[in-house]
Amino acid sequence: MLNRDVREKLIAIVGENNVEDNNASLLAYSYDSTPRYQTLPDAMVAPRNKHEVSAVVKVCNEHQIPIVPRGSGTNLCAGTTPSEGGIVLIFKHMREILEIDEENLTMTVQAGVYTKDILDRAQAVGLFYPPDPGSMHISQIGGNISENSGGLRGLKYGVTRDYVLGLEIVLPNGEIIQTGGKLAKDVAGYDLTRLYVGAEGTLGVITEAILKLVPQPETKQTMLALYHDLAAAAESVSAIIANRIIPATLEFLDQATVQVVEDYAKIGLPTEAKAVLLIEQDGPPEVVARDMEKIASLCKDNQAFDVQVAQTDEEAEQLTAARRTALSALSRLKPTTILEDATVPRSKIAAMVKAIGEIAAKYELTICTFGHAGDGNLHPTCLTDARNEKEMELVEKAFAEIFEKAVDLGGTITGEHGVGMMKLPYLHLKAGEHGVEAMRRIKQALDPHEIMNPGKMFDPLTKQSKEVEK
Amino acid sequence: MLNRDVREKLIAIVGENNVEDNNASLLAYSYDSTPRYQTLPDAMVAPRNKHEVSAVVKVCNEHQIPIVPRGSGTNLCAGTTPSEGGIVLIFKHMREILEIDEENLTMTVQAGVYTKDILDRAQAVGLFYPPDPGSMHISQIGGNISENSGGLRGLKYGVTRDYVLGLEIVLPNGEIIQTGGKLAKDVAGYDLTRLYVGAEGTLGVITEAILKLVPQPETKQTMLALYHDLAAAAESVSAIIANRIIPATLEFLDQATVQVVEDYAKIGLPTEAKAVLLIEQDGPPEVVARDMEKIASLCKDNQAFDVQVAQTDEEAEQLTAARRTALSALSRLKPTTILEDATVPRSKIAAMVKAIGEIAAKYELTICTFGHAGDGNLHPTCLTDARNEKEMELVEKAFAEIFEKAVDLGGTITGEHGVGMMKLPYLHLKAGEHGVEAMRRIKQALDPHEIMNPGKMFDPLTKQSKEVEK
């Protein structure tokens, strides 16, 4: 519970209606979309503008109160669990799209704007904001930026990072800085913009962003390629890229995933296939037509037993929408769904899928795998039950092995979900002890009182040294 | 001069031949491509591999000896001047292209590889490394990465940062870390890769990089658009982008620049034009043809008095090569050429070019302007004489005003050259005092002994506090 002094200071800044600490509110902000992580915060605070954010941060910094900035809480890494109490900062009053600049192809937005609204507003003027994380209908851009969210179009278009040109940031000391700008080139000092993208709210609060837009592609086509075995699907992915074609989307679903998605969406997906690739290309019509023809032929050369091109926009939309339901569909089957995102160089997808299968068998777990084959970003998803403690131990062991395997193959423990609390124990596998140490030093330099989203990404220097002292 | 103990330690690491401290060597590494900055180092050290780099850094960290990592010294911001003595680290033994991975579209290189060799090796297998800084024939990739070099293709393809997937870095404490990988997505911890891109060697030594390649565009076309006034050229740039066309290259040259380039290259450039746009588009033939037609028509709509499309590859190559000679051509006219790179949102190019003209007139200076119009990255270039102290004072005043104007217009003090010593006094204009302070804290956290390229980018925390104490 906040002490009365602090509580009154916060109310003086944001108004009484914007500080909530009744039980229902605390419960609502005690967890995010990650199973098995829950802690009550001391209060929810909803500042109305950057100046209020700054004032709130100053109070918290003075009193060493944890701040957890939170968008819609759709992250899957326990990135916004208030594990050390403190306040959860929400952005319901900061939902404005401030500007669309058609000459410079930028959009300036407040942190609380919904991702989907950004896509829609861009599309309305013939422009395109490519990042499309699975949760984009309800996720907020501030969260996307803090997690450097990915999505289905990463292969061709990159991730959130590639579309953030500038930020307004409230530093842990409460000072407000602007980074970057409407600039294609800017090398004035360290790249704070990219340091804050993906920093998971541990270095400050993002209040505003300048986003890069690109011209809307003229057309899009969608196809499914069906396989009797996983390796052939993986080889098709490699063959497409090796032929210098970069599709907009190149998704992989294993049979189990196709089955549950079909049960859920009922659109006639080919449940007989052991593996399915969902492939989209966008661009000028001539190029899309040529690429799709070439892709179809490469898939057949690599033992696809069928290739189905969507004949209408509706049919195409249905296929992509079905893929987007994978997580929801899987989560209907068992009480607990644990979705991971171990990522490997795309040439290693076959090896990784195979390893996941072997690890699942070893621990007798149900793990379905789907994901962004084109960028090597797989989502092995364990269907389990958090109440079964014995099984949960096995799940943890299995995922630890999956992370180790991914890193062995030149990959990473997380492609697009973030570290949060969930992968904190594994960060060293990818970043190395000295790499984690460098991150810790950056954290300490910018947030010496460790108020910003504590307990995420890595243990701070102080906690470490306390543990050494013990 | 290095003390004997240190000198012997360094020789023990890299061998006698790889430590040079005779006068000729010291003189050779006392300056880079930036006029008016020169200081002798204490020695040149050429490690043969990362382990030697690590060992050298450890010795320097222990003895608090400055290290200036240096590629070919082509930077224009006094980024590699050994202003506080110490050792200049060169990479002549680390010039290997370690791998081209055609499945993952990556190239792994050592820091000393020439940029041009990367482009050529990629092209040989039908792939493309887009960054093309003006000095790419002699610049080294380690330097490009440390300066986040740009070039003529920034508008469509981005800059060096956008093609660095992973780094091998020797930290200031001598530990070696690996960041990133052959991965389209990776959010495991802070984005150290992008923090080190453009860090100007102030946070450690880059020894190896994994670069992203893209498919080689199928075709390319080049045109010139000629104008009787600057504003019309600038409006054409805006019109092209506003029509959702992103050319590969969109360069601007004022009359003075065209004149000296023509005097130098003698290829029949239109010296009667007050402003010239050099425009390239690449991609599939249908798209290039359509875009070029549309661009030509937009230029004419915006008062281009002539549009000339290169009829052959040789002619196109001649035009681009001529543009690339601009700096060399200008530098023949006066003893000293000071090239700047104030950058603005592209919609502000007309305003910026006009302001540069007014500032030049105010101080009675000769400033030619050319640059990357498509990304708002202008190169106002002052032709002067460093021996004329009175004029140099005016030059400094003029450039300070240019930087201020660029920032006023939403731009930056440097688009692609870096801060170095040259723009250290101006960084706060763009980054703000609190932004610079955040950078200082990061620097101090990672390099507490301030051995890495001291005197660049900003004054360190310690120097600051010493000055406050005075």
Beta partners for residue B45, in sequence order = B19, B89
Asked which of A3-7, A75-79, A87-91, B229-233 is least confident by mean pLDDT, the reply is: B229-233
Q: B411 and A189: CB-CB below 8 Å? A: no
Half-sphere exposure of B95 (CA within 13 A, CB side): 14
Q: Which residues 379-438 in chain A show a CB within 8 A of chain B?
A: 410-419, 423, 427, 430-432, 434-438
Q: Which two tokens stand for residue A211?
A: 């986003």
Q: Is the pLDDT of residue B355 over 60?
A: yes
Q: Is A25 helix (H, G, I), strand (E, B) or coil?
A: helix
For an interface test with A, give the residue of B160, B173, B185, B352 to mutate (most A CBs within 10 A).
B185
pLDDT of residue A463: 65
Helix %, strand %, coil % of chain A (to 5):
40, 20, 35
Inform me whether the C-beta atom of residue B260 falls under 8 Å from chain A C-beta atoms.
no
Q: A179 and B441: CB-CB below 8 Å? A: no
The CA-to-CA distance between both ends of chain B, in Å, stands at 28
Q: What amino acid is encoded at A96 in this protein?
A: E
Among all residues of chain B, which has the CA nearest to that of A436?
B189
**Residue in A216, A376, A427 nearest the CB of B184:** A376
Inform me whether the C-beta atom of residue B335 falls under 8 Å from chain A C-beta atoms.
no
Does the ipTM exceed 0.90? yes
Left (φ > 0), alpha (ψ -120 to 50) or beta: where does A453 sit? left
* Residues B441-446, mean pLDDT to the nearest whole number: 98
pLDDT of residue B464: 56
Q: Is the pLDDT of residue A467 over 80?
A: no
pLDDT of residue A331: 87
pLDDT tier for residue B325 given thresholds of 50, 70 and 90: confident
Inform me whether the C-beta atom of residue A161 falls under 8 Å from chain B C-beta atoms.
yes
Asked which of A122-131, A398-407, B326-335 is least confident by mean pLDDT, the reply is: B326-335
CA distance A184 to chain B (A): 5
Place of tokens 């109070």: A59
Question: How far is the C-alpha of A198 from the C-alpha of A407, rounded, in Å?
Answer: 19
Helix (H) or strand (E) holding B442: helix B427-446
**Residue in A194, A242, A284 nearest the CB of B194:** A194
Q: Is the pLDDT of residue B69 over 90?
A: yes
CA distance B16 to chain A (A): 31
pLDDT tier for residue A470 given thresholds of 50, 70 and 90: very low
Inform me whether the C-beta atom of residue A154 falls under 8 Å from chain B C-beta atoms.
yes
**Residue in B190, B418, B438 nearest the CB of A187:** B418
For an interface test with B, give the residue of A101, A186, A449 to mutate (most B CBs within 10 A).
A186
pLDDT tier for residue B265 given thresholds of 50, 70 and 90: confident
pLDDT of residue B470: 41
* Residues A315-322, mean pLDDT to the nearest whole number: 87
Asked which of A344-358, B189-203, B419-433 is least confident by mean pLDDT, the reply is: A344-358
Q: What amino acid is encoded at B287 in this protein?
A: V
Place of tokens 């300070």: B400
Asked which of A176-180, A282-286, B12-16, B255-259 is least confident by mean pLDDT, the reply is: B255-259
Q: Is the pLDDT of residue B469 over 70?
A: no
Question: How far is the C-alpha of B296 from the C-alpha of B225, rounded, in Å?
Answer: 8
Q: Residues A209-229: pLDDT tens digits?
A: 999 999 999 999 999 999 998
Q: A345 and B104: CB-CB below 8 Å? A: yes
Tallying the residues shown for chain A, one arrives at 470
pLDDT of residue A312: 92
Residue B441 phi/psi, 5-degree rounding, is -70, -40
Among all residues of chain A, which has the CA nearest to that of B423?
A188
DSSP-derived letter for residue A216 is P
Specify the pairing of strand B164-170 against strand B176-180. antiparallel
Question: How far is the C-alpha of B239 from the C-alpha of B373, rounded, in Å?
Answer: 12
Highest average pLDDT, of A14-18, A311-315, B323-327, comes from A14-18
Question: How far is the C-alpha of B390 from the C-alpha of B368, rounded, in Å?
Answer: 20
Q: Residues A164-216: pLDDT tens digits?
A: 999 999 999 999 999 999 999 999 999 999 999 999 999 999 999 999 999 99
Query: What residues of B are in contact with residue A417 (Cβ under 8 Å)?
Result: 187
Going by C-alpha positions, the residue among A21, A181, A202, A2 that lies closest to residue A101 is: A181
Inform me whether the C-beta atom of residue B462 falls under 8 Å from chain A C-beta atoms.
no
Question: How far is the C-alpha of B378 from the C-alpha of B341, rounded, in Å?
Answer: 5
* Residues A140-166, mean pLDDT to the nearest whole number: 96
* Burial readout B309-328 (b: 16 or more C-beta within 10 A, e: otherwise): bbeeeeebebbbebbbebbe
* Residues A34-48, mean pLDDT to the nearest whole number: 96
Q: A419 and B244: CB-CB below 8 Å? A: no
pLDDT tier for residue A460 given thresholds of 50, 70 and 90: confident
Q: Which residues 4-23 in chain B show a CB within 8 A of chain A?
A: none
Sort A103 into a burial class: Cβ within 10 Å, 0-12 / 13-18 / 19+.
Answer: middle
**Residue in B189, B417, B446 nearest the CB of A436:** B189
Q: Is B107 helix (H, G, I), strand (E, B) or coil?
A: strand
Question: How far is the C-alpha of A370 from the C-alpha of B458, rounded, in Å?
Answer: 47
Among all residues of chain B, which has the CA nearest to that of A239?
B103
Going by C-alpha positions, the residue among A258, A262, A169, A253 that lies closest to residue A207 is: A169
Give the percent of chain A with pLDDT over 70: 98
Question: How far is the C-alpha of B460 from the C-alpha of B470, rounded, in Å?
Answer: 16
Inform me whether the C-beta atom of residue B372 falls under 8 Å from chain A C-beta atoms.
yes
* Residues B250-272, mean pLDDT to the nearest whole number: 90
pLDDT of residue A468: 46
Q: Residues B144-163: pLDDT tens digits?
A: 999 999 999 999 999 999 99
Question: How far is the C-alpha of B5 from the C-alpha of B373, rounded, in Å?
Answer: 53
Q: Is the pLDDT of residue B468 over 50?
A: no
Inform me whether the C-beta atom of residue A297 falls under 8 Å from chain B C-beta atoms.
no
Q: Residues A337-351: pLDDT tens digits?
A: 999 999 999 999 989
Give the percent of chain B with pLDDT over 90: 87
pLDDT of residue A161: 97
Asked which of A125-129, A161-165, B459-463 is least confident by mean pLDDT, the reply is: B459-463
* Residues B442-460, mean pLDDT to the nearest whole number: 96
Q: What is the full DSSP assignment across B376-427?
A: TEEEEEEEE-TT-HHHHHHHHHHHHHHHHHHHHTT-BS-SSS--TTTSGGGH
**Contacts with B135 (C-beta within 8 Å, 6 or more apart), sequence order:** B33, B72, B74, B115
**Contacts with A430 (C-beta within 8 Å, 6 or more apart), sequence order:** A407, A412, A413, B186, B188, B189
Going by C-alpha positions, the residue among A437, A377, A163, A237 that lies closest to residue B187 is: A377
Domains and CATH numbers, chain A: 4-89 (3.30.43.10), 97-215 (3.30.465.10), 219-327 (3.30.70.2190)
Asked which of A286-295, A404-413, B192-201, B229-238 is least confident by mean pLDDT, the reply is: B229-238
Q: Is the pLDDT of residue B93 over 70?
A: yes
State how far the alpha carbon of B432 is from the alpha carbons of A37, A256, A263, B438, in Å: 39, 54, 56, 10
* Residues B441-458, mean pLDDT to the nearest whole number: 97
Half-sphere exposure of A464 (CA within 13 A, CB side): 11
Q: Residues A435-454: pLDDT tens digits?
A: 999 999 999 999 999 999 99
pLDDT of residue B465: 53
If one compares A467 and B328, the residue with the highest pLDDT of the two is B328
Inform me whether the C-beta atom of residue A174 falls under 8 Å from chain B C-beta atoms.
no
